[in-house]
């Protein structure tokens, strides 16, 4: 029904646009203040936006309202003495029965509740469509009666679009603030249980603790130094591979390559950025890691089945396009006059690239490198599949290590309880990752500001 409601709104908006546009054209007035298309857009926006808002609010409130109605319609003995989790399971059973997903014979009350749930869903969906249709027609009629030759439709449309952009910006800011506040709040809960000093300077990471009385587990150790070290080691290996290859590829494509070769090579190189990370993980596990073990055996080196080198190497291949594409664009954006001036004083092409183009394009190149570093630090799937889950404090690239993102995933799956230090540790790690990424962005902005003043 949601799709039907959206299609209805889109259809009514298109009908309003073409109808109002035709009305403006058919008026034959030469003194129209705005183009006919703006008159059509004005009515279409009035038709589409209020009805779309009704649909969004309705969809957000429909499920909670029906859930409360279901609970109030159940017999008292069905929910007596049950906590929130058990009530949630009961609601889930009712909804599964309503969809025909029956794993055991439901009780009579559950079956009756499932039938009521289906009936109420149908009523609510039809009411949503009726409400959206009524709002659309009423708003369209109000907008249509405002048609006059001197009506400033263009200014009205631009005002509506401006407020829409402001609303989108506010939503983006509020979403970011919500993410940050949730991380900070949960991280503070974690540091209330685990000392700040132990987390940032501890050398042992063993977060597995007992969540229930019948479980057997250790007391837990939350020293995050091994996790941070593993993250930096894999990111460093990835940048050792991606940095030189990406930058040299960008220089060749921008300054040496024939236009026809560049037109083919650059899109092919950027395809690497579109390959799913799970594919890179399979490549690391099935191809790179065994090859590294065999090569290490030939040299008499002991290479772990899951090594930082395997994960870092494959991650480096993955982030090459981030460096090459942005660096290529930065080099191509340098004015030709700077090249010509360098050649005019006798500099060679290599000297021009090294002493003129690279400094001039430095903001874009630094931006590409920092974007690649952020991507390497935040990667999860490749590390899960190729590097391992055990936090080891080592600088040996042939050993298995883990990263911050992998530990966040590990801590939040399985048998979890959001009041335990084990689960709250994921939010502390997430906060650290957020601060590091923010710091990289600030550094990139400062570098860009410094060198733009010099070369613009």
pLDDT tens digits for range 372-406? 888 888 887 888 788 777 778 888 888 888 888 88
Calpha distance 447→72 (Å, rounded): 61
More confident residue, 385 or 105: 385
Question: What mean pLDDT, rounded, does the chain reach?
Answer: 83
C-alpha to C-alpha distance for 345 and 411, rounded to whole angstroms: 61
What is the spatial distance between Cα 236 and Cα 318, in angstroms, rounded to a whole number?
14
pLDDT for 70 beyond 90:
no
- Max mean pLDDT among 21-35, 270-284, 438-452 falls in 270-284
Residue 213 is predicted with a pLDDT of 52
Is pLDDT above 90 for 143? no
> What is the average pLDDT across 115-133?
87
Q: How far is CA 81 from CA 13, 68, 77, in A?
A: 51, 17, 8
* DSSP class per residue in 298-330: HTT----SS-HHHHHHHHHHHHHHHHHHHHHHH
Per-residue model confidence (pLDDT) at position 244: 92
The confidence band for 6, taking pLDDT boundaries of 50, 70 and 90, is confident
Place of tokens 């319609």: 73
Can you give the pLDDT at residue 216?
Answer: 46
Q: Determine which helix (DSSP H) or strand (DSSP E) holds 206, and give its type and residue range.
A: strand 205-206
Tokens of 48: 């589409």
Neighbour-count burial for 2-26, b at 16+ CB within 10 Å, e otherwise = eeebeebbeebbeebbebbbeebee
Residue 205 backbone phi and psi in degrees, to 5: -120, 100
Q: Say what the pLDDT of residue 219 is.
A: 57
> Per-residue pLDDT for 453 more than 90?
no
pLDDT value, residue 241: 92
* Helices (H), ranges, 194-224: 196-201
Tell me what the mean pLDDT of segment 210-236 comes to. Answer: 74
Average pLDDT of the residues in 241-247: 92
Half-sphere exposure of 37 (CA within 13 A, CB side): 1
CA distance 365 to 368: 5
Residue 299 predicted with pLDDT over 90: no
Measured CA to CA, the distance from residue 204 to residue 228 in angstroms comes to 12
- Asked if residue 418 has pLDDT above 70, the reply is no
Q: How many CA atoms lie within 13 A of 223 on its CB side?
A: 12
Lowest mean pLDDT among 157-166, 208-217, 426-435: 208-217
- What is the C-alpha to C-alpha distance for residues 281 and 313, in angstroms, rounded to an integer? 11
Compute the distance between CA of residue 34 and CA of residue 152 in angstroms, rounded to an integer: 6
State how far the Cα of 97 lies from the Cα of 159, in Å rounded to an integer: 49
Structure tokens at 91: 């609601």
205-221 pLDDT per residue, tens: 887 765 555 554 455 67
DSSP 49-88: HHHHHHHHHHHHHHHHHHHHHHHHHS-HHHHTT--HHHHH
Residue 455 has pLDDT above 60, yes or no: no
For 338-379, the pLDDT digits (tens) are 888 888 888 888 889 888 888 888 888 888 888 888 888 888
Percent of the chain with pLDDT over 90: 8
User: Rounded to whole angstroms, how far apart are CA atoms 354 and 361?
Assistant: 11
Band (417; pLDDT cuts 50, 70, 90): low
The region of weakest confidence among 7-16, 146-155, 260-269, 432-441 is: 146-155
């Amino acid at each position: 029904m949601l799709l039907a409601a959206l299609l209805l709104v889109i259809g009514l908006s298109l009908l309003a646009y073409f109808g109002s546009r035709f009305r403006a054209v058919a008026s034959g007035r030469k003194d129209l203040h705005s183009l006919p298309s703006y008159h059509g857009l004005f009515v279409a926006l009035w038709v589409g936006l209020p009805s779309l808002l009704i649909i969004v609010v309705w969809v957000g409130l429909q499920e909670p309202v029906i859930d409360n109605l279901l609970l109030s319609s159940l017999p008292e003995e069905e929910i007596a003495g049950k906590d929130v989790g058990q009530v949630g399971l009961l609601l889930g059973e009712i909804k599964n029965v309503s969809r025909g997903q029956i794993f055991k014979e439901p009780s009579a009350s559950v079956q009756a509740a499932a039938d009521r749930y289906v009936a109420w869903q149908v009523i609510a969906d039809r009411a949503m469509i009726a409400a959206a249709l009524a709002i659309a027609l009423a708003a369209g009629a109000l907008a249509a009666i405002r048609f006059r030759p001197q009506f400033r439709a263009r200014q009205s449309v631009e005002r509506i679009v401006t407020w829409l952009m402001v609303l989108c910006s506010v939503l983006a800011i509020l979403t970011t603030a919500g993410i940050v506040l949730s991380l900070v709040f949960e991280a503070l809960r974690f540091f209330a249980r685990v000392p700040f000093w132990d987390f940032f300077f501890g050398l042992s990471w063993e977060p597995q603790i007992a969540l229930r009385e019948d479980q057997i587990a250790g007391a837990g150790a939350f020293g995050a130094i091994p996790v941070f070290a593993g993250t930096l080691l894999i990111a460093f290996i990835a940048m050792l591979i991606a940095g030189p290859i990406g930058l040299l590829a960008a220089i060749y494509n921008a300054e040496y390559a024939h236009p026809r070769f560049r037109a083919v090579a650059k899109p092919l190189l950027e395809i690497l950025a579109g390959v799913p990370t799970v594919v890179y993980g399979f490549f690391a596990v099935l191809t790179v890691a065994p090859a590294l073990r065999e090569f290490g055996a030939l040299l008499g080196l002991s290479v772990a089945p899951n090594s930082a080198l395997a994960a870092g190497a494959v991650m480096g291949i993955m982030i090459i396009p981030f460096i090459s594409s942005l660096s290529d664009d930065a080099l191509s954006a340098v004015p030709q006059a700077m090249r010509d001036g360098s050649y005019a004083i006798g500099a060679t092409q290599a000297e021009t690239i090294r002493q003129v183009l690279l400094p001039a394009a430095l903001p874009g190149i630094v931006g590409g490198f920092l974007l690649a570093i952020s991507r390497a630090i935040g990667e999860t799937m490749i590390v899960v599949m190729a590097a391992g889950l055990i936090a080891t404090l080592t600088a040996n690239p042939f050993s298995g290590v883990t990263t911050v993102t992998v530990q966040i995933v590990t801590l939040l799956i399985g048998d979890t309880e959001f009041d335990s230090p084990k689960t709250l540790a994921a939010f502390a790690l997430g906060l650290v990752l957020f601060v590091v990424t923010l710091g990289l962005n600030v550094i990139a902005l400062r570098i860009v500001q410094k060198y733009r003043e010099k070369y613009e």
